[in-house]
Amino acid sequence: MTTTAIDYEAVIGLEVHAQITTRSKNFCSCSADYANAAPNTHVCPVCLGMPGTLPVLNRAAIEATVMTALALNCEIPLHSKFDRKNYPYPDLMKGYQITQYDEPLSLNGWTEIDDGNGGTLRAGITRVHLEEDTARLLHRVDSVTGEPYSLVDVNRAGVPLMEIVGEPDLRTPEQARQYLLKLRQILRYLGVSHANMEEGNFRCDANVSVRPRGSTTFGNKVEVKNMNSFRAVFHALEYELDRQSTMMAAGERIPMETRGWVEGENRTVSQRSKEEANDYRYFPEPDLPPVVLTPDWIEGVRAKLPELPDAKRARFVQRYGLSPHEADLLTDSRARADYFEAALADADPTDDAARRSLARAVANWMLGELARLQNAHGDEIEAVKVRPQHIRELVAVIEGGAISGTQAKDVFQKMYDTGEAPGAIVEAAGLSQISGTDELAAIVAQILAAHPQPVADYRAGKQEAIKFLVGQVMRATKGRANPESAGALLRDTLGG
C-alpha cells in the first residue's frame, strides 16, 4: 500500500456483465447453453449476422433483466429501446452490438453491501440493461510457421448479457469485492445467471481514480480490464490505488486510459489511451420495436422475486435465533438456505424454543462438519449426498443419547460419503440396536423404576414425558435401542 504522506482514497465504479441463463439466445432460437459445445455448433444465420437476417427479442431475457433490476431497487421505465453500438471487430458478427444506450430497461438502483469496516454501505446502481454477447476469439500460433492467427467461435455471439453499471460509490478494493459478491449472490438467488467469474459468464471492468481523502472532486479515471476472479479484482484495484497515489503524490498527471490486469505479474499494463473518447455512433435499433412494459407486468415480475439475501438473513436471525454471522453464512446461497430450512421442515411452528434449539443444532452441523467436508471435497451444497432430514434425524439420535459426540462425527462422515440415513449407519456400524423385546423390556423396567417423576407426569397426561424416558432407554443401551420400539414399549408398560 501507499506510504505517501497524503492519505489517498480510491473512487471505484464497477461495470458488471452477466450472461443470462435463458434457454435460447437473445435474438435467435439457438441454444444459449454452449458451455460444453464444440465451437460454432450453436449458430444460425441470425447470430452469424448473415445478410437479410433480423433479430427477434427473447422475452425471457427481458424478464430476467427486469427481475434483477427490481432486486437492485431500480426504477423500471415503461418505455425503453435498443440501440446499435457500432465498432468493427471480428468478434462482432454484425459490425454492431445491439445494446441499450439512452433508454435502458432500468435506472437508479442501489444495493447494500458490507463496507469492510463492520458497517454497511449503500452502493448506487446507475442502470441495468440488456445487450448481446460477442463471439469468442481464440488466438493461436501456427506450430509450423510460428505465425499468429485467430479463430472465431460464434457460439457465444448473441447470448443475452445484462450490464450492471455501478455508481462510483466504492472507496476501497475490499468494498469492490463485497459489491461483486453481493451482485453474484443476488444473481444466483434469482437464478438468472450462473455468475461465475472463472467461467467468464460474470465479468467485471473497473473504473478507478484516486483523490486525497476528504476531497469531493474526481481524478482522471482509469479503466481496468482482464480481471477473471474476485481475487484479481481486489489485487488489481490495490495495485491501481498504489500506482495512482504514487503518481499523484509525485505531482504526475494520471492519463485516462484502459489498463489490463496481468495475472502472473500482479500488475496492470496500459492497453490504450482514452484521452479521445471512442465514438460508437449509437442510434436506435430499427429492427426492434421499443420495449413497452405495463405496471401490471412489472408487478407480476416483482411478485416472482424470491426472498432476497438481506431479508432472508434478517429472518434467520429473528426466527431461528442465529447470530448475524451464522445467518450470513447460511444465506450465502439460496440452496444453502433452502437446505437449512428443509432440515427444520417439521419443527413445531408454535414451539419457538424447540425450533430454535433444533435450528441451532442443524446450523452447527451445517457450518461445522458439513462445511468442513464440503471444503475438503470441493462440493457445492447441491452436490451433497446428505439429505436435510438426515441431519434432523442425526440431531434426534444424539439428543436421545444413543451415540456420543465422537460417534456422531463418524456417523456424519458416513452420511456424507454414502448419503445413507443416520439410523441405518448406526445399525450397520455395530452400534446396532437391541431388537429383542425381552432385553429391551428389562431395561425399560429399570428406567421406569429409576424415574418415578416422569412416570407420574406421563400418567398425569403429560405426553412429553415419554421423550425423556425414551432418552434414558437410549442412553442405557448406548443408542442400540430403536427409539420407536422403546417408546412403544414404554407406553405399553405404563398402560398407555
- Cβ atoms within 10 Å, residue 136: 16
DSSP string over 372-398? HHHHHHT--GGG--S-HHHHHHHHHHH
CB of 287 to other proteins, least distance (A): 5
Of residues 5, 36, 52, 217, which one binds other proteins by CB under 8 A? 52
Q: Which stretch binds other proteins (CB under 8 A): 51-59, 325-333, 428-436, 461-469?
A: 51-59
Residues 173 and 115: their CA atoms lie apart, in Å, by 10
Are 54 and 188 in contact by the 8 Å Cβ rule? The answer is no
Of residues 35, 37, 50, 441, which one binds other proteins by CB under 8 A? 50
The site map against other proteins for 251-290 (x = CB under 8 A) is: --------------------------x-x-xxx--xxxx-
- Cβ atoms within 10 Å, residue 23: 11
CB of 142 to other proteins, least distance (A): 13
Of residues 2, 31, 53, 389, which one binds other proteins by CB under 8 A? 53
**416 binds other proteins per the rule CB under 8 A:** no
Q: Which stretch binds other proteins (CB under 8 A): 31-39, 50-58, 138-146, 419-427?
A: 50-58
Of residues 45, 324, 368, 419, which one binds other proteins by CB under 8 A? 45
Residue owning grid cell 501507499? 2
CA 113, 319, 367 angle in degrees (round to 5)?
65
CB of 205 to other proteins, least distance (A): 21
Are 19 and 201 in contact by the 8 Å Cβ rule? The answer is yes
Are 105 and 76 in contact by the 8 Å Cβ rule? The answer is yes
CA distances from 59 to 65, 255, 266, 300 (A): 10, 42, 42, 14
Of residues 35, 54, 428, 429, which one binds other proteins by CB under 8 A? 54
Residues 157 and 26: their CA atoms lie apart, in Å, by 9
Instruction: Please choose, from the candidates 373, 393, 394, the residue with its C-alpha nearest in 3D space to the C-alpha of residue 383.
Output: 373
**49 binds other proteins per the rule CB under 8 A:** yes
CB of 313 to other proteins, least distance (A): 42
The site map against other proteins for 125-164 (x = CB under 8 A) is: -------------------------x-x------------
SS3 category, 447? helix
Of residues 15, 48, 262, 468, which one binds other proteins by CB under 8 A? 48
Provide the binding-site residues for other proteins, judged by CB under 8 A: 45, 48-57, 84, 86, 88, 90, 93-96, 150, 152, 277, 279, 281-283, 286-289
